[in-house]
Structure 1
Amino acid sequence: MAVALTMAQMKLAVLRHAFRGQRGQTAGVGAVLGVLLAAGTVYLAFAGPDLLAAGYAVWLLGWVLGPVFMGGGDETLRPEYFSLLGLPPRRLAAGLLAAAFVGVAPLVSLSALLGLLVAGARLGVANALVAVPAMVLQLAVFVLLSKVSVALVGLAVRSRVGAIASGLLNGAILAALGQIWVFFWAFGQTGVPAAVWYLPSGWALLAVRGDWWALAALAVLVLLLLGAWAALLGRRAGATRPSGRGRRPITAATAHGAVVAKELRTWSRDLVRNHQMTFALSYGVCFAASPLILGWNGMLPFAGPIFIVMAAAMASNLYGTDGTALWLTLMTPGTPDVRGRQLAWLSAQAPVAVVLTVAFTAFSGGPWPLVLALLPALLGGAAGLVPLVSVYALVPGTDPHRRAGNPLRTSEDDGGLTGLAYLMLALVPVTGAPAALAAIRYGWAGVAVGAGTGVLCYWGFGLLAERRLRTHGPELLDTMRTGRKARTTVKSRFDQLSTTRRTIAWWCFGFGAIPLVPQGVIAAVFVADGMLRHTWFLATYMPPGLRYPVAGAFAALGLAMYGTGVWIVRPRPAR
């Protein structure tokens, strides 16, 4: 008990000093969104028990899959910090579990679990009393399942076979969740599946409704997960080891060729990059192939473009993952580092994207102009945005040789990595929008537009990244070394804004992509392709005369939000 209390106090002290500046603002925005989701979950307690059980299943999936995809989860207190204390594994696991309950995510999840108390109060006093321990046990199950899943994937990523296998599995799971409507439709499921009651996320609700065995089952599951986590902590020692098999030496006649060779060697040896690439491949294929269950192959041609977008999101912190090795680039001025990284990224991703696109489009019979227009546009846009976003919004990463027992943990700032990934998911499709619209309107002419925009994005964004690296290289290296971002002129202007204007700017930049990309650009593509009444794309549900206007209005709204954000933070002339 003393160890657990001490670790919880340590975690609280660290967080009290960590949530400041930009990191504090990011945590605040995440907390607000989490509270809104928690409030919606509590509302489901009034809508019906089936919906509440489904809501808790979604929370469970978020706890299990979220940390795996976004940097290995919260490790403010790492097990390695206590390796010299000689604590038994179970005692260490119990202490780390107590510390894991301290934070924004557990507090938000506990707020969502108040729905159990509401459901119990509607049934009677005894049911409400059972809801209190059920809430605590259910939260413990969420946290422990998250820890165990991250530990298992971390062990898998230590070998090449494990890294590839876990990437394929995780990509398939996330794609299935994104296309869950396909499985509901295929199996004739019009309501909430009965299986959600028997998932661990539904046991607390079963206990509240009178199945008292579920409360005991939750307690047993907590003990089992705690034992499994303790065993995994014992196997965590040791860092990720790259493949040491003999390779041909790197030979290059030019500096550009040396950068390309170095990056390609990194792509082949870094197990985290292997995991990320196979994850993007699995996600793109499974997401596009899921509608085959319904006998519809219309999404198959877009497996390649989806893979490109996801692969770019995985590489959004390209310079950050190198750690302090950036000093090698800065000490050799004139080296075409950005261009070399661009070419290496294309060399690793483009062949896979081309094979996926051509093979699946030939299998489904088209639409050839649209996919062939999107392919070069997205490849060029992604190859330009990957280094650009990395140098402009760099998240300090852990040096590869210093990664702890959790190889997925490539940075201390989970929120920053998540934000970069979402930013890339929004920006890369925008680079393909002109080509898609031209192909829809003019057919094969869109291919020329896609090739032109791809080349322009590749060259232009790469040029901007080169200039940024040349003019702000020392600041970026200092950010890598210290973990603190240097205060720039833009950031200073942002900090000088009033609270209201700063909040409006955050919301505009954070949520402008939702009306612009999915409800605007993608919805217009779906309408043009005849994909009507498609999931949450509002334009596909409109009457024929309103479909394109609604998509256009959403796109205009997204652009207006971004424009408003830029207008708020723009520099003001001195009076």
Structure 2
Amino acid sequence: MSTYPFAPGPLTGTLGRIAVPAQMRTAMLRRSLRENPGPTVAGLTGLLAAAWLIRYALRGDQHTLALLVGAWVLGWIVLPLLLGGGQGRVRPAHLRLEPIAGLPAAIGLLAASAIGIGPAVSLVALAALPVHAARHGAAAILVAASGAVLLWLLGLIGSAIALEVVGHAGGPAGALLTGIFTGTAMGVAGSLWAVFPWVSVLLVGAPDEVVRAMRYVPSSWPLSAVTGSPGRGAGMMAALAGVVVLCAAAYILLVRRMVTTGVPFRPRGTTAAPLPRRTDSGPAGPRGTTAAPSAGVGRAQSGWLGWVPAPTRAVAGRELRAWLRHPLRLQYLAFAVVYGALLAGAPLLSDVDLLLPWAGPLAVLGAAAMSAGLVGLDGTALWLPFTTPGGERAEVRGRALAWLVLVTPIGVLLTVAGVVLAPDVDALVALATLPALLGAGASVPVWVSLLRVRPAADPRHPTSADNPTDIVSVLVATGAGLLTAAPVLALAVWGPPWVAPLMPAVGLLCGAAVCWGGVWLADERLARRGTEVLAAAGQRSRPPETVIPLKWDAQWYRENRATAWALALLTVGWIPVVPQGVMVLAFGIDGGWIVASHLDGGARTAVGLAMVALGGAMLLAGLVLWGRRPQPGSSPHARPASGEPG
């Protein structure tokens, strides 16, 4: 009997078993669309982009269109890794108890993956190929349509492989790969302004070097097959089909291994190895990964941290080992380094080297943001500080010290490298903000992670798919770093010239003050609410999401006002940020309804900045309210659970 409550209906045999994953995915999609409006909004945005691509295909350049189509397919593969696309999908591990394996399982999983907003929007976008080929006749339309289907299959299979291999990779190697991969994608996306001149050139007509390079890009083969000779076109279509077949074969092997063993690439009959239960710093907790401090670690590190109390020294040593061994911590660190380096280095494509000295501060700020949920990775091992005299203080200070010891060399090296590569750029402001960001990053994330604990599903077997980082915590940690560096930036922008030599001292003082304040807040939180923090870290199942009605419901609004206001702020908050602020400040766009466009000079800039600040405050308030929304079952009008009295 099937272990899932989805009967194949009238279908029997292998065909009926293939239909099971599709039915499961249909039910998941229907529920997710009801509970979360995000996919619907993303789908509408994707349809607008697909419509623009089809419009460009009517009269645009052939090679530029092929490049845009290739970018679309690549984005289909990459974006689910960045936006949590692994949630709500049917995975090979879900079929381990089903009487289906190998080719039927792969076909069923691909059929399930094809059910969703993303695949449907991508199919619409790839219709740009036959639209562009229509100028060459009916036969060209058929060839381009076949190529579009093959590219769609390539994106579908590639996304499934990426989500299963990269998105669920375990161990240090998989964590580093995921961190580098996501950091590269986010860094390039964050530097679009630097590559915009290149994009504008491509939209007019692809340069000769791009045309030559596109010969080796599969997205250009369908259109090249249309415009080339019949023999050359047949060869290109056969090559594209061969790429799809190779990817499908790799996916079949991956599904077979996953259904059999539950892990992608391990010898048959083995299981994923848990994190070490005992390290040099002592035994691990009952369900977590945090090791207890030991006197041996304190003696071993007394040479280079002799001025630090022994308990704090022991916690710092344990944390440094965790940073080098824990997969999610390695992923966070790799992401921060790659992201900061690309944000500072990608503008070199447009001959802009002003940001190179900021590689270090940007990486430090990213590391602080990605450290805002580390307490949730420790599980119930957090009971260890409560059993040691002064353990709470040592826990907080040891975590902050370990972060400083690990991140400071990275920030300094990247900053120095930027100064060396751009000797003509004034790096004083970047050097002055570095200690401020280090001070805030060492302490504020510790406090935030204790304030908003988001536990991992299983801290002993963490993977990148179990990322428990909370977006509100990330924004708070990032905002704390920016506020700490604000005095230095204010002196650089509005201060008189003679205060420039004082900026490093100001940055150091601001960093020290915020570091002390964050440590004090974390001490108070762990000492006064330790039991609450421990209970939150021990949670293994997250509460169900609040169901949002698709039509007006006055009763639901009365019971979920925080959720309604959160949705309103998250929707309206983008208006002052983008059209009223960024479009005026960055692109100089005017309009009758844009307030800043009616002003000139400093007033225009001030109003634009105020609009960005207002929108940011609205978005942050919306995120906070969304985090405080009532959970199902907490309302007095909620239905009682089965077996409980009404």
CA deviation vs aligned residue, 1:332-375 (integer Å, no higher than 9, x gap): 89724455433332222122112322343255345243012221
Aligned partner of 2:587 among 522, 538, 543? 538
CA deviation vs aligned residue, 1:291-348 (integer Å, no higher than 9, x gap): 5677764332111012113323433432343456556678889724455433332222
- The normalised TM-score by structure 1 is 0.75
Gaps of 5+ in 2: 1-14, 258-263, 283-292, 299-308, 547-555, 591-598, 629-646
**Is the CA contact 1:301–1:371 (under 8 Å) kept in the aligned structure 2?**
yes
CA 1:246/1:83 → structure 2, altered by over 3 Å: closer, same or farther?
Answer: same
Query: In structure 2, what is the Cα distance between the partners aligned to 1:173 and 1:56?
Result: 17
CA deviation vs aligned residue, 1:201-221 (integer Å, no higher than 9, x gap): 344555677856555444332
Aligned partner of 1:61 among 74, 96, 109? 74
Give the 5 Å matches for 1:456-467: 456-461=513-518
- 1:498 positional shift: 9.3
Partner of 1:6: 20
Query: In structure 1, what is the Cα distance between the partners aligned to 2:604 and 2:92?
Result: 52
User: Are 2:60 and 1:48 equivalent residues in the alignment?
Assistant: yes
- The normalised TM-score by structure 2 is 0.68
Aligned partner of 1:346 among 404, 422, 426? 404
Partner of 1:450: 507
User: Are 2:610 and 1:553 equivalent residues in the alignment?
Assistant: no
Partner of 2:358: 302
- 1:232 positional shift: 3.6
CA 1:196/1:362 → structure 2, altered by over 3 Å: closer, same or farther?
Answer: closer
User: Are 2:436 and 1:377 equivalent residues in the alignment?
Assistant: yes
Partner of 1:439: 492
Give the 5 Å matches for 1:390-401: 390=449, 395-401=454-460
Partner of 2:288: none
**Is the CA contact 2:455–2:536 (under 8 Å) kept in the aligned structure 1?**
no
Query: In structure 1, what is the Cα distance between the partners aligned to 2:360 and 2:435?
Result: 11
Partner of 1:506: 570
- 1:224 positional shift: 1.0
- 1:438 positional shift: 1.7
- 1:86 positional shift: 6.3
Partner of 1:360: 418
- 1:98 positional shift: 1.7
Partner of 1:224: 246
Gaps of 5+ in 1: 524-536
Partner of 1:201: 219
Aligned partner of 2:336 among 235, 256, 280? 280
CA 1:212/1:27 → structure 2, altered by over 3 Å: closer, same or farther?
Answer: same
CA 1:280/1:513 → structure 2, altered by over 3 Å: closer, same or farther?
Answer: farther
Q: Which has the larger radius of gyration?
A: 2
Partner of 2:392: 335
Query: In structure 1, what is the Cα distance between the partners aligned to 2:397 and 2:579?
Result: 33
CA 1:378/1:112 → structure 2, altered by over 3 Å: closer, same or farther?
Answer: farther
CA 1:128/1:27 → structure 2, altered by over 3 Å: closer, same or farther?
Answer: same
**Is the CA contact 2:172–2:325 (under 8 Å) kept in the aligned structure 1?**
no
- 1:449 positional shift: 3.7
Higher helix content, 1 or 2? 1
- 1:166 positional shift: 6.6
Identity of aligned residues (%): 31
Partner of 2:641: none
CA deviation vs aligned residue, 1:367-392 (integer Å, no higher than 9, x gap): 24301222122223334553455456
**Is the CA contact 1:137–1:218 (under 8 Å) kept in the aligned structure 2?**
yes
- 1:270 positional shift: 1.2
CA 1:286/1:81 → structure 2, altered by over 3 Å: closer, same or farther?
Answer: same
CA 1:424/1:228 → structure 2, altered by over 3 Å: closer, same or farther?
Answer: farther
Partner of 2:560: 495
Aligned partner of 1:264 among 305, 311, 320? 320
User: Are 2:29 and 1:15 equivalent residues in the alignment?
Assistant: yes
- Write the letter of the residue equivalent to 2:560: D
Give the 5 Å matches for 1:131-280: 133-151=146-164, 153=166, 158-160=171-173, 163-164=175-176, 167=179, 171=183, 175=187, 191-192=205-206, 193-194=210-211, 195-196=213-214, 198-204=216-222, 206=224, 211=233, 214-233=236-255, 234=257, 235-236=264-265, 238-239=271-272, 242=275, 247=280, 250-251=293-294, 256-280=312-336
**Is the CA contact 1:381–1:428 (under 8 Å) kept in the aligned structure 2?**
yes
Query: In structure 2, what is the Cα distance between the partners aligned to 1:476 and 1:103?
Result: 37
- 1:225 positional shift: 0.5
**Is the CA contact 1:429–1:517 (under 8 Å) kept in the aligned structure 2?**
no
- 1:68 positional shift: 4.5
- Write the letter of the residue equivalent to 1:199: V
- Write the letter of the residue equivalent to 2:42: G
- 1:473 positional shift: 2.8
CA 1:268/1:146 → structure 2, altered by over 3 Å: closer, same or farther?
Answer: same
SS in structure 1 at match of 2:171: coil
Answer with 58-67 or 325-334: which moved more.
325-334
